Structure 1
């Protein structure tokens, strides 16, 4: 009887996957914002190299990482996928708990070795280090830039976006920077749209 309960619980835990049927909002805007951020980061790196703020080695390492993220952002879909994958998702929702339940049957547990995570952890640490370095470069740039200039506005926007990427959500500091950036952002600038989107997102999330 307990095995039946376990199967029912496993099925119930897969129900959140139904959220995948919801149509994502502002997916194309997210793609454009991410690409604009990474292009600005590349431009900032070139300026810092030209001004001697960073070495050639640091420049190459940071450039490769930003280009990788730019390619990843460019591969994001511009619209929601159609319904052709819904059947596969439904089958997966059923197969996963049933397959997991089957592992508890007598004699069915395979001897699978643990997955090594050392390489993944090293890559993640390298990405975090590059992001921290970029944040430091942007902060340093803003300290020598006229706060009311469009250059400062751009730097504030991309520093705020980098802080958001690091935290996984819009932080109070990032929101403050987005607002400062918007105050001096020229009309038609890429980062002005980014500022507006992030400020609106923060309001929807209850961040003031």
Structure 2
């Protein structure tokens, strides 16, 4: 049944192109055009003779010359370039569904059951709801922990990672900032600054300060030193703007 659907879709898709090709007038070749031109010249020549514009002797000479040209043109081979091009396009169009089916058989899985969009959206929504519940529980647990609890900082780092995974940049920056206040680390300071930039769309004075502090505390061989220096230059430029 699925192959019949594929065939129907291919016919519906390619039918307008086929109709356009077959309805298109075939351009006349050089031989046909020359013959038509000379025949028109003969008609015009007879009209000039009838109106008295040329003498009978001139008519005979001109008629003989045109007839000679007709004989020469009639021996010329017909030009089939246009027809060949049209057939080339037809063959190319016919190859499209063949290639598509071949690719589907190579990388597709016809035996797999259908995967409608609605159930997948429901699954994503359920997963997000479950993640939200887990984050709420983590927040509640962190709220009950003592300020000097050594696990509190790691808890805020985990909370920031969870919020960042959901695309909640501002919430991730807030959680990581709390972890940073409990213990400064250059890598974490950069994470906070980057999340703040993603959340606000610009480098604020606070983010710029975090970049500077991270650069000052970073080891000399830190692989991200150059990137942070570029961020600092960008932030200073933005701060100078009115």
TM-score, normalised relative to structure 1: 0.36
**Larger fraction in helix:** 2
Which of the pair has more CA radius of gyration?
Answer: 2
* Larger RCO (CA within 8 A; separation ≥ 6): 1
